[in-house]
């Protein structure tokens, strides 16, 4: 009996095995597979343990192996997209795509990414003792680009700013660790000792030569021009970034405020060597020392200063931002003595009128809604019709950045005027007596391109740039950018009439991919290294002229 049962069970198992095996064979015949490699965008090194997601007729996940390779079987035929989750909140995912056929393995283009990295080191005194409580910041130099709004329609791209990308404080051993720094960037590391800025009941007296320390950049130099940048690649852990802060004799300054010395006024002392942060001045801005409310009698004293050039600034901030200008600041120098900088008349914020107008009236009714953003005032205004006018309250001396994110084709920014003069590629200055006018063009053209690799395959995932061929205000070099789709096609719309150099990059300099209204939009990171690279590349680009409301097409190959 048992023998018979066993025989029946074995027969059933054999049938099941044959059925499942045939099903697996049939499934394999009806589906395909995908494979590819994930690499660091800068070094080309394969990256292990990168989590990916794929989508198409089916969805799933994959993880790269020690060679940076991923493999997914049983993928239904059709277009499949493989992406890595974004590094930053709000970024669209980086992706590559390809076509899957039944019974075949599709090799997708390399996915080139930039992952987070870190910088570690120590801050010590010149006698070798560790310095706890020192603020350490990682700075990226950019030709504008506001945090949170990395739009190509940023209209202040001609001014070089120092952006704080990360900060920390040294521990009791004087060591620091800066984390979550995106790879592919050049970071300037700055150590800033604590300072004392306070109101005082009496005039400045001899400081007694108490010791102080000045901020210093890696490797222990006094200016960012002399600093050595730390260039990071994906997942790199850069160590031994050590900075020594020398001890110096300290001095004091005093000043008397007049004018708007009310509870809303604030003051700060600025080291002019480290004062180019795009956010202006706030209580957390490291280039200023303890922004404080001004005292009722208007008398200020600040100590712990060293020999060098400084700016004393005071005023009524807007949205927590305080900035220097010839009307509410005093530049002074400390040279082996205490300083009384005299009387500062505090200027009130001003109201500017901003007009949005057509370059010329469009021939027909077109959608004319757009958004304007002014930073650091954090002013966001939606314009529902052109022409339009609105008012913005601005602090004197704060360099304001104007951007128009998500401007839809065929609209484009034709010019930005202040007091009748072009301000394209410049920061706006509230001290300028003129109002501000933004001119919008409505006859933007289109460039369409077929982009292929050297082997004749679609250059999926490559970056295509349209570069201004003629001189352009400030550092406006990139007119538009777009990612190549799985068919090797790309379209850039809303281009001002004129001539352009178009290039296709397989290994572009750092750029972000931000969500667009229809498709993700790539935005080049306008650092000096990236823009210098593009300026060298521009002459080799294919020349094309875009006419008013014109549509041009061309074929490109990747670099």
Statement to judge: residues 289 and 145 lie in one domain = yes
Element (H, E) at 10: helix 2-30
Statement to judge: residues 236 and 167 lie in one domain = yes
Statement to judge: residues 163 and 243 lie in one domain = yes
Query: Is the torsion defined by CA of 482, 445, 435, 160 positive or negative?
Result: positive
21 within a domain of the structure (yes/no): no
Q: Which two tokens stand for residue 439?
A: 């001119």
429 within a domain of the structure (yes/no): yes
**Helices and strands in the chain, H and E counts:** 2, 45
The separation between CA 374 and the C-alpha centre of its own chain, rounded to angstroms, equals 16
Statement to judge: residues 73 and 121 lie in one domain = no
97 within a domain of the structure (yes/no): yes
Is residue 550 within 8 A of residue 497, CB to CB? The reply is yes
DSSP structure string for 381-448? EEE-SSSEEEEEEE-TT-EEEEE-TTPPTT-EEEEEEETTEE-TTS-EETTSSS-EEEEEES--EEEE
26 within a domain of the structure (yes/no): no
Q: Which two tokens stand for residue 95?
A: 């992706």
Residue 252 burial (C-beta neighbours within 10 Å; 0-12, 13-18, 19+): buried
Query: Rg of the Cα trace of the chain?
Result: 29
Q: What is the mean pLDDT of each run of 10 residues along the chain (559 residues)?
A: 53 49 55 93 90 90 95 93 70 75 90 91 95 93 63 66 87 96 91 63 48 91 92 94 93 80 64 58 38 66 85 68 57 92 78 87 72 71 84 74 79 88 80 84 93 84 85 69 85 92 83 58 76 83 94 89
Torsion angles phi and psi, residue 135, rounded to 5: -75, 130
Q: What is the 3-state secondary structure (H, E, C) of 12-81?
A: HHHHHHHHHHHHHHHHHHHCEEEEEEEEECCCCCECCCCEEEEECCCCEEEECCCCCEEEEEEECCEEEE
Beta bridge partners, 161, equal 142
Q: Residue 505: give the domain boundaries.
A: 445-557
Number of domains in the chain: 4
Element (H, E) at 530: helix 528-537
- Euclidean distance between CA atoms 278 and 376, whole angstroms: 8
Torsion angles phi and psi, residue 359, rounded to 5: -60, -45
Q: Tell me if residue 531 falls in helix, strand or coil.
A: helix
Q: What is the 3-state secondary structure (H, E, C) of 137-176?
A: EEEEEEECCECCECCCCECCCCCEEEEEEEEEECCCCCEE
Angle at 494 between CA 363 and CA 464, to 5 degrees: 160
**What does the pLDDT read at residue 65?**
96
478-483 and 78-84 as β-strands: parallel, antiparallel, unpaired?
unpaired
Statement to judge: residues 168 and 230 lie in one domain = yes
Which CATH number does the domain housing residue 297 bear?
Answer: 2.60.40.1120
**What does the pLDDT read at residue 320?**
56
Statement to judge: residues 421 and 467 lie in one domain = no
Q: Tell me if residue 2 falls in helix, strand or coil.
A: helix
The separation between CA 395 and the C-alpha centre of its own chain, rounded to angstroms, equals 24
- Helix, strand, coil percentages (3-state) for the chain, rounded to 5, are 10, 50, 45
Statement to judge: residues 342 and 286 lie in one domain = yes
Domain boundary among 313, 346, 379: 346
23 within a domain of the structure (yes/no): no
15 within a domain of the structure (yes/no): no
DSSP 8-state assignment for residue 227? P
**What does the pLDDT read at residue 261?**
47
Largest CA distance in the chain: 112
Statement to judge: residues 162 and 235 lie in one domain = yes
Angle at 360 between CA 519 and CA 549, to 5 degrees: 45
Q: Which residues touch 326 (CB under 8 Å, ≥6 apart)? A: 397, 431
Tell me the HSE value of 52 on the side-chain side, using a 13 A CA sphere: 33
Q: Which two tokens stand for residue 288?
A: 């200023």
Q: Which two tokens stand for residue 425?
A: 């590629």
Statement to judge: residues 184 and 329 lie in one domain = yes
**What does the pLDDT read at residue 319?**
55
The separation between CA 23 and the C-alpha centre of its own chain, rounded to angstroms, equals 51
Q: Which of 183, 52, 172 is nearest to 110 (CA)?
A: 52
Domain boundary among 441, 461, 492: 441
Count of residues in the chain: 559
- Euclidean distance between CA atoms 257 and 20, whole angstroms: 87
Torsion angles phi and psi, residue 137, rounded to 5: -125, 150
- Euclidean distance between CA atoms 283 and 291, whole angstroms: 5
22 within a domain of the structure (yes/no): no
Which CATH number does the domain housing residue 55 bear?
Answer: 2.60.40.10
**What does the pLDDT read at residue 551?**
94
19 within a domain of the structure (yes/no): no
- Euclidean distance between CA atoms 88 and 221, whole angstroms: 32
Domain boundary among 331, 346, 361: 346
- Count CB atoms within 10 A of the CB of residue 459: 25
- Euclidean distance between CA atoms 156 and 401, whole angstroms: 6
The separation between CA 439 and the C-alpha centre of its own chain, rounded to angstroms, equals 26
Statement to judge: residues 270 and 135 lie in one domain = yes
Statement to judge: residues 231 and 341 lie in one domain = yes
Spell out a b/e string for 137-173, using b for 16 or more CB atoms within 10 Å of the CB, else e.
Answer: bbbbbbbbbbeebbbbbbbbbbbebbbbbbbbebeee
**What does the pLDDT read at residue 32?**
94
Statement to judge: residues 89 and 138 lie in one domain = no
């Amino acid at each position: 009996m048992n023998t018979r049962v066993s025989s029946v069970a074995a027969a059933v198992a054999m049938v099941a095995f044959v059925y499942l095996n045939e099903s697996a064979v049939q499934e394999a015949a009806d589906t395909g597979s995908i494979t590819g490699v994930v690499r660091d965008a800068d070094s080309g090194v394969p990256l292990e343990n990168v989590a990916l997601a794929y989508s198409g007729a089916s969805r799933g996940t994959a993880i790269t192996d020690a060679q940076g390779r991923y493999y997914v079987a049983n993928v239904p035929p059709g277009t499949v997209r493989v992406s890595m989750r974004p590094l930053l909140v709000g970024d669209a995912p980086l992706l590559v795509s390809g076509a899957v056929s039944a019974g075949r393995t599709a090799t997708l283009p390399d996915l080139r990414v930039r992952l987070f990295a870190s910088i570690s080191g120590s801050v010590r005194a010149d006698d070798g003792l560790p310095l706890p409580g020192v603020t350490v910041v990682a700075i990226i130099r950019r030709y504008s680009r506001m945090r949170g709004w990395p739009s190509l329609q940023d209209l202040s791209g001609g001014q070089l700013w120092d952006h704080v990308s990360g900060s920390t404080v040294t521990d009791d051993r004087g060591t620091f660790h800066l984390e979550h720094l995106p790879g592919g960037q050049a970071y300037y590391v700055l150590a800033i000792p604590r300072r004392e800025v306070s109101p005082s009941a009496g005039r400045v007296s001899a400081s007694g030569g108490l010791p102080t320390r000045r901020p210093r950049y890696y490797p222990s130099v006094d200016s960012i021009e002399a600093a050595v940048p730390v260039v990071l690649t994906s997942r790199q852990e850069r160590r031994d970034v050590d900075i020594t802060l020398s001890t110096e004799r300290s001095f004091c300054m005093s000043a008397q405020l007049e004018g708007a010395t009310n509870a809303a006024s604030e003051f700060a002392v600025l080291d002019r060597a480290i004062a180019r942060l795009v956010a202006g001045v706030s209580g957390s801005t490291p280039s200023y020392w303890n922004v404080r409310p001004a005292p009722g009698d208007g008398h200020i004293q600040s100590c712990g200063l060293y020999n060098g050039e400084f700016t004393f600034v005071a005023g009524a901030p807007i949205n927590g931002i305080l900035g220097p200008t010839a009307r509410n600041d005093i530049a002074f120098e400390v040279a082996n003595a205490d300083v009384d900088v005299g009387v500062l008349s505090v200027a009130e914020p001003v109201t500017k009128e901003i007009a949005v107008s057509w370059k010329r009236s469009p021939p027909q009714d077109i959608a004319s809604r757009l958004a304007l953003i002014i930073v650091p005032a954090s002013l966001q205004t939606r314009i529902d019709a052109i022409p339009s006018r609105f008012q913005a309250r601005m602090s004197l001396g704060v360099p304001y950045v104007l951007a128009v994110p998500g401007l839809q084709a065929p609209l484009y920014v034709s010019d930005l005027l202040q007091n009748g003069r072009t301000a394209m590629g410049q920061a706006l200055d509230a001290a300028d007596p003129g109002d501000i006018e933004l001119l919008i063009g409505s006859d933007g053209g289109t460039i369409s391109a077929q982009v292929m690799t050297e082997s004749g395959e679609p250059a999926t995932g490559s970056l295509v740039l349209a570069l201004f061929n003629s001189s352009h205000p400030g550092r406006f070099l990139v007119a538009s950018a777009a990612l190549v789709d799985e068919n090797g096609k790309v379209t850039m719309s809303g281009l001002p009439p004129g001539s352009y150099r178009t290039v296709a990059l397989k290994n572009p300099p750092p750029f972000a991919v931000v969500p667009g209204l229809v498709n993700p939009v790539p935005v080049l990171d306008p650092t000096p290294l990236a823009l210098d690279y593009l300026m060298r590349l521009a002459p080799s680009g294919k020349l094309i002229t875009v006419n008013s409301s014109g549509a041009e097409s061309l074929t490109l190959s990747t670099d």
